[in-house]
Structure 1
Amino acid sequence: MTDAAHSLSPGLDSFYREHRSWLESWLRRRLGNAWDAADLSQETFLRVLAYPHGEPLTALREPRAYLVTVGKRLLLNHQRRRRLEQAYLEALAHLPEAVTPSAEQRWIVLQTLQALDDLLDGLPHSVRRAFLWSQLEGLGYAQIAERLQVSQRTVKRYMAQAYEHCLMADL
């Protein structure tokens, strides 16, 4: 940790030294990858540092449980992004070479997909699907209702929920 980070939160340096290798090992067992584990460990500590604490970190009764809670959220996001990236790369593999996007275009699309995934995070699965089919495939409510095996009225409710979610996320 830098001197600036240490001065922002009393005891963070010792908190980091005591728990970093344990957290990194915990993450490595779940990821099977030391590089990603190190990255997520650092991200966990950055999140802990950014969160306003009423008490010093050293006063936490269960510091590892706290780190695991933050680490699990980051781990789930990491895994979700990897699945999204893998699905995108598999879709690209089926394209003819003549229309395969450049590396820069692939990166932009992947970043956009991840931003969209983040935006829709927290919506129920059926609401997400309805919204994505409507926006990306141009399906009408009747087609979506048929795919989801629900009424058009339910699809209308799903779409309203998705739009509201997007508007609230933008605030």
Structure 2
Amino acid sequence: MYSGHHNWLVQWLQRKLGNTVDAADLAQDTYVRVASGASMPRPEEARPYLVRIARNLVIDLYRRRKLEAAYVDALSSLPETAAPSHEETLIALQTLGAIDRALDSLPAKVRETFLMSQFDGQTYSAIADSLGIAVATVRKHMLTATRACFVAMQEAGAVPAAR
């Protein structure tokens, strides 16, 4: 699969990204995902399979860059004396990326419930009405999402692991 489609995949990614470095990196990441996957597509399905994986990696790249840009923008508004060190900034960016991946891995309703609560400031009752679910289900979804974020933060080293 690699020798038959690698050059094509890199060119496809270059058209999407407009840059050869990111295209080469994401092509490599695509094949790492293929190699670690449970199954291999049939030869006639190889390109659609590669595109699906690569497209998700492109989305992840853009999402990560958007988070990084928002963080850097927030930092620029701080007085110089309050700005975090480069190491603290890197840890924060890695933690944000880990939380983003954790939320992305959740079922859609769980993720949407969490985002509506934490970013839109909606009450559990409003979320339940909006999504057509019970308030108890909202609580359950919030617990699931919060746990996923906490585990992501632990894995990123932002909080100590539980003993």
TM-score range, shorter chain: 0.7 to 0.9
Task: Tell me the CA shift for residue 45 of structure 1.
Answer: 0.5
Asked whether the 8 Å contact 1:88–1:110 carries over to 2, the reply is yes
* Structure 1 partner of 2:122: 144
CA distance in 2, matches of 1:114, 1:74: 13
Q: Which runs of 5+ in 1 are unaligned?
A: 1-14, 135-142
* Structure 2 partner of 1:113: 96
Distance 1:111 1:100, change over 3 A: same
Q: Which fold has the larger relative contact order, with Cα–Cα distance below 8 Å and residues 6 or more apart in sequence?
A: 2
Query: In the TM superposition, what whole-angstrom CA distance separates every residue of 1:106-153 from its partner, at most 9, and x where no partner exists?
Result: 00011111111111114456423245359xxxxxxxx633xx992688
Comparing 155-164 with 87-96, which one deviates more in the overlay? 155-164
CA distance in 2, matches of 1:168, 1:108: 18
Identity score, percent: 35
* Structure 2 partner of 1:128: 114
Of 21, 28, 38, which aligns to 1:52? Answer: 38
Task: Tell me the CA shift for residue 35 of structure 1.
Answer: 0.7
Of 21, 29, 34, which aligns to 1:35? Answer: 21
* Structure 2 partner of 1:99: 82
TM-score by length of 2: 0.73
Number of residue pairs the alignment of both structures matches: 143
Letter in structure 2 aligned against 1:42: Q
Larger Rg: 1
Secondary structure in structure 1 of the residue aligned to 2:51: helix
Secondary structure in structure 2 of the residue aligned to 1:150: helix
Distance 1:65 1:156, change over 3 A: same
Distance 1:45 1:149, change over 3 A: same
Asked whether the 8 Å contact 1:128–1:162 carries over to 2, the reply is yes
Q: Which runs of 5+ in 2 are unaligned?
A: 152-163
TM-score by length of 1: 0.70
* Structure 2 partner of 1:161: 141
Letter in structure 2 aligned against 1:109: A
CA distance in 1, matches of 2:97, 2:127: 30
